[in-house]
Amino acid sequence: MHDSVKRLKVQLVGAALTVVVSAVALSATTYAWFAANNRVHATTSTISAQANGMVLQIVEGDTPDHGSDTSTVASATGHEISPSSTNDAKNWYVPQGWQGVNVSTYQKVDTSISGEAPGKYTIQGNDYYAFTAANYTLYTVANTGVADVYLDASNGSPITITQHGGTQEWFDKIKGSLRVGIVINGVLRVVYAPTAPSTTDSGNDVATVAGWSCVDSESLNKVVAPTYLHLSGTDSLDQNGDNWGATKAGEAYIKPNGNAQKVASSVNYSGTNMKVVVWMEGTDSDCQNMSGLDVGEGSPTFDVTVSLVGIVADSK
């Protein structure tokens, strides 16, 4: 991480930062989206971030660190997760009933991305976690003005999910169901998947759809396409064709071409709240059972990296 900090360039019009969710480990043989609501473990040992301090900084928690004007590194501790589904990062759903091995009905769980135990919920006396979340504050250094924040696509994909350990076979099976959501001041701005969801295959649900999917919050008995903006793979364009990825011209960052989408607008000295939420989308066709393994045997671990850049705001 220290080498990465050294490689960050000081920019007059932009500042790059990286959020890393590292060593997420899945370690169970049956996911909660199948015939029995068996427990799934995914432990995030650290959630860290680093930022170039020229214009934009980041700190873990809710309070800007105005005592520093250099590159910063912030970290938080994650927890286990089980497959879940959401359309807004506010309302979260898990299976309630099954027809054979397919989920037929769903229930909303009492959990939140804020509070002392984000993602935690209880069913029949057992505790589970629907997601893991890291809480940060984005802010500018004194006398540097106001910055708009974009995804940093200057080196390829602005969000990456890479295997860290465990079996490649299991990681390859489930990685497509992983989701990374960026929440700004309580609003889900964009969701990323490492591969585009299959347009022909569907998940382990009775009433389902192919492609991007989530539980229908109105009926609680079917799967529908989500309304959130989303990206996949190395593509910085969302489903509407809007561009989230800033690039570089020489050493200067420039905002995305076309209809540019900001992750956060007008970030200032007082700071803007950002949460990075990671979950396994239970309705996705890649949320698969890896049978034949004992708990923990061959289970994959993976790292999630979100790269952002701050550019002088349009209004300034």
Query: What's the rounded Cα separation, in Å, for the pair 268 and 213?
Result: 35
The per-residue pLDDT for 27 is 34
The per-residue pLDDT for 216 is 98
Mean pLDDT score across all residues of the chain? 79
| 28 close to 40: Cβ distance less than 8 angstroms | yes
Is residue 31 scored above 50 in pLDDT?
A: no
Helix ranges, the chain (H)? 2-7, 168-174
The per-residue pLDDT for 227 is 98
C-alpha of 159 from chain center: 9
Q: Average pLDDT, stretch 294-312?
A: 70
Instruction: Kindly report the number of other CB atoms within 10 A of residue 235's CB atom.
Output: 14
Of 67-76, 149-158, 181-190, give the range with the top mean pLDDT: 181-190
Q: Which of 129, 156, 138, 107 is nearest to 15 (CA)?
A: 138
Q: Average pLDDT, stretch 204-230?
A: 97
Is residue 14 scored above 60 in pLDDT?
A: no
The per-residue pLDDT for 29 is 30
Find the farthest-apart pair of alpha carbons in the chain and give their distance in angstroms, rounded: 62
Query: What's the rounded Cα separation, in Å, for the pair 279 and 180?
Result: 7
Instruction: Specify the pTM.
Output: 0.86
Q: Average pLDDT, stretch 288-292?
A: 59
Q: Average pLDDT, stretch 88-107?
A: 93
Token pair in block for residue 65: 């660190």
Query: What's the rounded Cα separation, in Å, for the pair 23 and 303?
Result: 5
Q: Which amino acid is at 124?
A: Q
Strand partners, 183: 188, 275
